[in-house]
């Protein structure tokens, strides 16, 4: 077991608190360090700055004489305690028993060292089990092989390392498929006249495939009847800790539907039993019939004889994301291997709204007949939902502020459902979609004969229809200036007057409004009434964009996938790499854009499994209109400065999209040295 003292670097205060950006840059270049501790003798270490944050400060200020701004996301740990990781902490300071700081490291370095330690342990396990391991890079050049691999193949590492493994192997499978994410199980191959049997799997780093890993043993020693599952059985106990560290459960179901093995993290609350041994030899069909879980992914996998992924719900209310893979021996299905992860932490709030006939309601204001769901897993959303539950208890006006597509209507419905008015009507009004000539009659109704073409019986407005319930005014800043006065009266007096009417009608209604604009700026420019602004600005709630709550992307993607599968009667799945790619996108259109992308993927993808090859063109495809846009010049400037500004913008956009100078150079059609010079010039 590693403790912090095993990986800490010697500590010293590298940079005084009052240092300038220039001094920090010079010190970092001279010392070849990528991270500098900051402090003084009196206060000790107060923070740190790394290369990335230093370059961002230089780029933001442009003045190297500005004082450096340091980061404080650090934590002190006893040097003899086991390595553990903390949320939102980048630097770890080790302290001895007297409380003195004796060393430091970064959370990233600690994870890398711990991963290396686990790899060494795993290598010892495989060596002890007589298992050979060979890894390659993305060009199939051998990057690693353990001692057992040398013994099995009869060739030393010095001979094989850095040689093309694909060219050396005799195999009837296409190894390029492994680089695309496919796993090849129970594959026979030979090298140096040595026959082996094993599996080829993608080698991942930070969610990306960087090569392949071949795990194998002597074919002669395994025997003709031994396949990869038997091979795994011999080392299940050794690999248990590895699966457990990923919080994933592995269930092996035989061809008759009997559970024969459970490894990894046992999902006790899902199964409602104390120990995995209690489930061995259990029949999955009987468990399904007893209501322990639904649906039966093992049965579906056996029937369709292909890999499946779906969400299973248990009798106890737990939800797990399961991936079932069929394993064949020849043409016969032998086993189903099910990998499951508990996703109950994905909170889903259902708004089971009362549906009443709305024959008199405008098409622009609907009583929500469909069940809206607020799906989230992030801490920021959990705090926001707690706040919504609290303010829903009172009838104060709520102002929802957020970018377009964040789901303001869903939040408005959540407030309604958390309130005492949940059994009363919920009226939605899109103020920007109402024709100006009809706004007053739609909102407040009209008496008979109020205007030409009016219904002779008159008609109640949306405020009347929402009596005792809630009304949601979306895009409230789109209301004409004269209509803002009438809305102000409703807020102040809680009464309305129909068009053509002579009497006021009291209304008891909760008002929720939303906008994606800066209301204070609209007030300053006299496009929105100041008195109405203060009436609406009672309980402002800011809804964060999706890029600031990354933990919600995968739960939302899974939710929309399930929704569109049901809508179009499909059974599409999405693999883990594709989900991680969705996490890495900025989502300028927020939840609405994510929903549209998932629907597009479900409809357009030909195969049953959505992978990275499907996601990439749908996220980063150049739009024709975008390519037609030309550079817009708004002021006169020297031609040299204009050319330099265009170059800077192109490089900045390309770096954001492609990440590395080499790829940017290829896309822009220049040399990497040119890109590097331009980047250095921007930092000067």
Which DSSP category does 273 fall into?
-
Count of domains observed in the chain: 6
The average pLDDT across 498-524 equals: 90
Q: Is 192 left (phi over 0), alpha (psi -120 to 50) or beta?
A: left
Q: Is residue 120 part of a domain?
A: no
Together in a domain, 380 and 411:
yes
CATH number at residue 446: 3.40.50.300
C-beta atoms surrounding 297 within 10 Å: 25
Q: What per-residue confidence (pLDDT) applies to 415?
A: 92
For the four alpha carbons of 14, 16, 21 and 27, in that order, the dihedral sign comes to negative
Q: What per-residue confidence (pLDDT) applies to 220?
A: 63
The C-alpha atoms of residue 614 and residue 635 are separated, in whole angstroms, by 42
Q: Is residue 122 part of a domain?
A: no
The average pLDDT across 439-448 equals: 84
The C-alpha atoms of residue 326 and residue 333 are separated, in whole angstroms, by 7
Together in a domain, 241 and 353:
no
Together in a domain, 456 and 419:
yes
Q: Is residue 59 part of a domain?
A: yes
**Domain encompassing residue 671:** 628-683
**Domain boundary at 519, 542, 565, which?**
542
584 or 409: whose pLDDT is higher? 409
φ, ψ of residue 358 to 5 degrees: the values are -125, 45
Q: Is residue 121 part of a domain?
A: no
Closest by alpha carbon to 76, among 67, 86, 68, 66?
86
User: And the tokens for 451?
Assistant: 């205007």
Q: Please, which pLDDT band fits residue 564 given cuts at 50, 70 and 90?
A: very high
Question: Pairing state of beta strands 293-294 and 372-376?
Answer: unpaired
Together in a domain, 520 and 406:
yes
Contact yes or no for 648/655 (Cβ under 8 A): no
Q: Please, which pLDDT band fits residue 366 given cuts at 50, 70 and 90?
A: very low
Q: What per-residue confidence (pLDDT) applies to 352?
A: 32
Q: Is residue 119 part of a domain?
A: no
Together in a domain, 244 and 327:
yes
C-alpha pair distances (Å), 636 with each of 432, 479, 632, 648, 650:
38, 39, 11, 18, 20
**% of the chain exceeding 70 in pLDDT:** 83
Residue 109 has pLDDT above 60, yes or no: yes
Residue 599 has pLDDT above 90, yes or no: yes
N- to C-terminal Cα separation, the chain: 46
Query: Residue 195 is inside which H or E element, if any?
Result: strand 194-205
Q: What per-residue confidence (pLDDT) applies to 279?
A: 92
446 or 119: whose pLDDT is higher? 446
10 Å CB burial of residue 543 (0-12, 13-18, 19+) is buried
Q: Please, which pLDDT band fits residue 116 given cuts at 50, 70 and 90?
A: confident
C-beta atoms surrounding 506 within 10 Å: 10
The average pLDDT across 501-527 equals: 90
What is the CA 60 to chain-centroid distance, rounded? 28
Q: Please, which pLDDT band fits residue 598 given cuts at 50, 70 and 90?
A: very high
Q: Cα torsion at 634, 636, 637, 639 (round to 10°)? A: 100
Q: What per-residue confidence (pLDDT) applies to 677?
A: 66
Together in a domain, 140 and 172:
yes
Q: 30-44, 211-225, 378-392, 602-616: which has the minimum mean pLDDT?
A: 211-225
Question: Pairing state of beta strands 208-218 and 74-78?
Answer: unpaired
The C-alpha atoms of residue 624 and residue 51 are separated, in whole angstroms, by 38
CATH number at residue 95: 3.10.580.10
Q: What per-residue confidence (pLDDT) applies to 656?
A: 60
C-beta atoms surrounding 294 within 10 Å: 12
Together in a domain, 373 and 511:
yes
**Residue 646 contacts by C-beta under 8 Å, 6 or more apart in sequence?**
631
Together in a domain, 394 and 524:
yes
Together in a domain, 287 and 387:
no
Q: Is residue 124 part of a domain?
A: no
The C-alpha atoms of residue 604 and residue 621 are separated, in whole angstroms, by 14
Q: 286-290, 436-440, 552-556: which has the minimum mean pLDDT?
A: 436-440
The average pLDDT across 55-74 equals: 87
Residue 131 has pLDDT above 60, yes or no: yes
**Residue 69 contacts by C-beta under 8 Å, 6 or more apart in sequence?**
49, 53, 57
Residue 413 has pLDDT above 80, yes or no: yes
The average pLDDT across 365-388 equals: 71
Question: Pairing state of beta strands 101-106 and 132-137?
Answer: unpaired
Together in a domain, 25 and 109:
yes
Together in a domain, 271 and 315:
yes
The C-alpha atoms of residue 655 and residue 59 are separated, in whole angstroms, by 15
281 or 634: whose pLDDT is higher? 281
Q: Is residue 123 part of a domain?
A: no
The C-alpha atoms of residue 311 and residue 320 are separated, in whole angstroms, by 6
10 Å CB burial of residue 49 (0-12, 13-18, 19+) is buried
Q: Please, which pLDDT band fits residue 88 given cuts at 50, 70 and 90?
A: confident
Residue 585 has pLDDT above 60, yes or no: yes
**% of the chain exceeding 90 in pLDDT:** 21
The average pLDDT across 403-415 equals: 91
Together in a domain, 212 and 257:
no
Cα angle: 650, vertex 656, 658; to 5 degrees: 90
Q: What per-residue confidence (pLDDT) applies to 643?
A: 77
pLDDT in tens, 258-311: 999 888 788 888 898 989 899 999 999 999 888 899 889 999 889 888 877 777
Q: What per-residue confidence (pLDDT) applies to 129?
A: 65
Contact yes or no for 327/337 (Cβ under 8 A): yes
The C-alpha atoms of residue 260 and residue 522 are separated, in whole angstroms, by 67
Omega within 30 of 0 (cis) for the link into 277? no
**Domain boundary at 113, 146, 162, which?**
113
Q: Please, which pLDDT band fits residue 468 given cuts at 50, 70 and 90?
A: very high
Q: What per-residue confidence (pLDDT) applies to 412?
A: 92
3-state SS assignment for residue 86? coil
CATH number at residue 243: 3.30.450.20
3-state SS assignment for residue 69? coil
Closest by alpha carbon to 365, among 473, 457, 437, 477?
473
Q: Is residue 615 part of a domain?
A: yes
Closest by alpha carbon to 61, among 32, 14, 24?
24
Q: Please, which pLDDT band fits residue 44 given cuts at 50, 70 and 90?
A: confident
Residue 634 has pLDDT above 90, yes or no: no
Q: Please, which pLDDT band fits residue 594 given cuts at 50, 70 and 90?
A: very high
Q: Please, which pLDDT band fits residue 661 given cuts at 50, 70 and 90?
A: low
The per-residue b/e assignment along 217-247, b for 16 or more CB within 10 angstroms, e otherwise, is bbbeebeeebbbbebbeebeebbeeebeeee
**Domain boundary at 285, 309, 342, which?**
342
Q: What per-residue confidence (pLDDT) applies to 29?
A: 85
The average pLDDT across 133-161 equals: 89
CATH number at residue 617: 1.10.8.60
Closest by alpha carbon to 585, among 570, 572, 601?
601
**Residue 622 contacts by C-beta under 8 Å, 6 or more apart in sequence?**
none
Q: 99-108, 373-382, 656-665: which has the minimum mean pLDDT?
A: 656-665
User: And the tokens for 301?
Assistant: 């996998």
The average pLDDT across 586-604 equals: 92
Average pLDDT, the chain: 81
CATH number at residue 678: 1.10.10
Residue 348 has pLDDT above 70, yes or no: no
User: And the tokens for 256?
Assistant: 């008759």
Q: What per-residue confidence (pLDDT) applies to 258?
A: 93
């Amino acid at each position: 077991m590693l403790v912090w003292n095993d990986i800490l670097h010697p500590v010293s205060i590298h940079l005084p608190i009052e240092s300038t950006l220039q001094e920090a840059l010079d010190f970092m270049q001279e010392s070849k360090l990528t991270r500098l501790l900051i402090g003084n003798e009196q206060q000790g270490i107060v923070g740190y700055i790394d290369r990335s944050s230093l370059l961002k400060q230089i780029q933001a200020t442009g003045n190297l004489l500005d004082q450096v701004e340091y980061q404080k996301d650090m934590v002190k740990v006893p040097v003899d305690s086991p390595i553990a990781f903390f949320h939102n902490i980048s630097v770890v300071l080790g302290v001895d028993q007297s409380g003195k700081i004796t060393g430091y490291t970064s959370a990233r370095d600690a994870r890398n060292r711990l991963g290396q330690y686990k790899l060494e342990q795993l290598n010892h396990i495989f060596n002890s089990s007589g298992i050979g391991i060979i890894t390659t890079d993305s060009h199939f050049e051998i990057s690693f092989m353990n001692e057992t691999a040398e013994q099995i193949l009869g060739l030393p590492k010095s001979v094989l390392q850095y040689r093309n493994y694909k060219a050396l192997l005799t195999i009837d499978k296409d190894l390029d498929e492994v680089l695309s994410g496919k796993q090849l199980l129970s594959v026979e191959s030979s090298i140096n006249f040595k026959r082996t049997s094993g599996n080829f799997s993608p080698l991942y780093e930070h969610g990306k495939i960087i090569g392949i890993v071949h795990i194998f043993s002597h074919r002669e020693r395994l025997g003709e009847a031994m396949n990869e599952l038997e091979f795994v059985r011999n080392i299940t106990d050794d690999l248990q800790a590895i699966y457990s560290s990923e919080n994933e459960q592995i269930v092996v179901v035989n061809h008759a539907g009997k559970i024969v093995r459970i490894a990894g993290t046992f999902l006790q609350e899902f199964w409602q039993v104390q120990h995995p041994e209690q489930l061995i030899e259990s029949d999955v069909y009987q468990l399904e019939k007893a209501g322990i879980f639904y649906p039966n992914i093992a049965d579906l996998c056996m029937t369709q004889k292909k890999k499946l992924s779906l969400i299973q719900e248990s009798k106890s209310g737990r939800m797990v994301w399961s991936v079932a893979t069929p394993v064949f021996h020849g043409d016969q299905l032998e086993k189903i291997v099910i990998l499951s992860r508990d996703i109950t932490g994905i909170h889903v709030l259902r708004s089971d709204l009362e549906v009443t006939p709305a024959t008199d309601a405008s098409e622009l204001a609907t009583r929500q007949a469909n069940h809206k769901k607020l799906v989230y897993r992030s801490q920021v959303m959990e705090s926001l939902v707690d706040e919504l539950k609290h303010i829903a208890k009172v009838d104060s006006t709520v102002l929802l502020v957020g970018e377009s597509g964040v789901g303001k209507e869903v939040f408005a419905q959540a407030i309604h459902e958390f309130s005492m008015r949940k059994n009363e009507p919920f009226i939605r009004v899109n103020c920007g979609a109402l024709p100006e000539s009809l706004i007053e009659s739609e909102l407040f109704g009209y008496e008979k004969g109020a205007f030409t073409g009016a219904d002779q019986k008159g008609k109640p407005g949306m405020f009347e229809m929402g009596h005792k319930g809630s009304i949601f005014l979306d895009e409230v800043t789109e209301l004409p200036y004269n209509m803002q006065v009438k809305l102000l009266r409703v807020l102040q007096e809680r009464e309305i007057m129909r068009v053509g009417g002579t009497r006021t009608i009291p209304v008891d209604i909760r008002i929720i409004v939303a906008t994606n604009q800066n209301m204070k700026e609209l007030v300053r420019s006299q496009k929105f009434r100041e008195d109405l602004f203060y009436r609406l600005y009672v309980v402002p709630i800011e809804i964060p964009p999706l890029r600031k709550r990354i933990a919600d992307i995968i739960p939302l993607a899974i939710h929309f996938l399930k929704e569109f599968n049901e809508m179009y009667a499909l059974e599409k799945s999405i693999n883990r790499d594709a989900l991680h790619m969705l996490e890495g996108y900025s989502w300028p259109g927020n939840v609405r854009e994510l929903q549209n992308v998932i629907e597009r993927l479900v409809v357009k993808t030909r195969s049953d499994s959505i992978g990275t090859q499907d996601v990439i063109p749908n996220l980063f495809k150049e739009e024709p209109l975008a390519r037609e846009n030309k550079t817009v010049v708004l002021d006169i400037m020297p031609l040299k400065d204009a050319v330099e500004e265009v170059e800077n913008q192109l490089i900045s956009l390309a770096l954001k999209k492609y990440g590395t100078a080499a790829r940017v150079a290829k896309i822009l059609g220049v040399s990497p040295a040119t890109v590097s010079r331009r980047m250095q010039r921007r930092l000067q």
